[in-house]
Amino acid sequence: MTDYSAILVETKGAVTLVTLNRPEALNALNSKVLDELIHAFAAYDSDPSQHCLVLTGSGEKAFAAGADIKEMQSQGFSDMYNANFFAGWEQVTRTRKPWIAAVNGFALGGGCEVAMMADFIIASDTAKFGQPEIKLGVTPGMGGSQRLTLAIGKSKAMEMCLTGRMMGAEEAERSGLVARVVPAAQLLEEALKTAETIAAMPPLAAVANKEMVNAAFEMPLAQGINFERRLFHGLFGSEDQKEGMAAFVEKRPGNWTGQ
């Protein structure tokens, strides 16, 4: 599938840029968006020429204003349960290579949850994060109650979920939800520059670093540290470790094979 319509996919050197493309609905995430994202992320993950991905929203107003309320409105419990609605997002979170969310405006409900699925978030100074599902009579459904709590702690996460209030970019950075805030006009340039930096790293080490940071969310400390050490040991079987350490000693840039 390359005839995407709900998203745009471009490659810029070794970086894939994916843009949510429903500006008329503030990039609300409907089933078509999800199907196309699953395809685009899988294509990125399996393309040996691509080493980092940036996900952003089209238009100046929104990254994504949530799951598509109009698509969900008439659904009943058995429809949602039988379809295991939202389970497809797990495929996006299984992406092994690095990816960044460049949040350019509203990241509400599912929009905030997709941003939190990324390895990290770079936000424009106009970004607004929130989990306003309570106002619709529901709750987060794409991981928000868990990932937001892990990111910013119980008190703030609980406050946001119970009041539905939005958090601005400065507060989001202070709270640890986003890695960096940049002026809106420079967001894409900064996110792509960061992605290029990552894409220039030894690819095996990039995937290993991602795996071990993520292990911190899944494993008890002793097990996580053991996992880290074993992966670290494993990289000593790679060409890029030999090259990386030789390049350091010889005072030259490394030349990576990904092997």
Residues that bind ligand CAA (CB under 6 A): 25-26, 28, 65-70, 106, 108-110, 113, 132-133, 136, 140-142, 144
Tell me how far, at minimum, the Cβ of 25 lies from ligand CAA, in Å.
Answer: 4
Cβ closest to ligand CAA, residue 10 vs residue 90: 90
Tell me how far, at minimum, the Cβ of 66 lies from ligand CAA, in Å.
Answer: 3
Is 151 a catalytic site residue? no
> 227 in helix, strand or coil?
helix
Residue pair 161/219 in contact by the 8 Å Cβ criterion: no
Tell me how far, at minimum, the Cβ of 234 lies from ligand CAA, in Å.
Answer: 37
- Choosing from 133, 169, 172, 205, the catalytic residue is 133
Of the candidates 130, 99, 129, 131, which has an alpha carbon nearest to the alpha carbon of residue 117?
A: 99
- Choosing from 57, 66, 110, 143, the catalytic residue is 110
Tell me how far, at minimum, the Cβ of 105 lies from ligand CAA, in Å.
Answer: 9
H helical segments located in the chain = 31-46, 69-72, 77-83, 89-93, 110-117, 144-152, 154-163, 169-174, 187-199, 203-215, 221-234, 239-249
Residue 236 CB partners (closer than 8 Å, separation 6+)? none
- Choosing from 67, 115, 172, 199, the catalytic residue is 67
DSSP class of 253: -
Cβ closest to ligand CAA, residue 136 vs residue 225: 136
> 66 in helix, strand or coil?
coil
Cβ closest to ligand CAA, residue 131 vs residue 238: 131
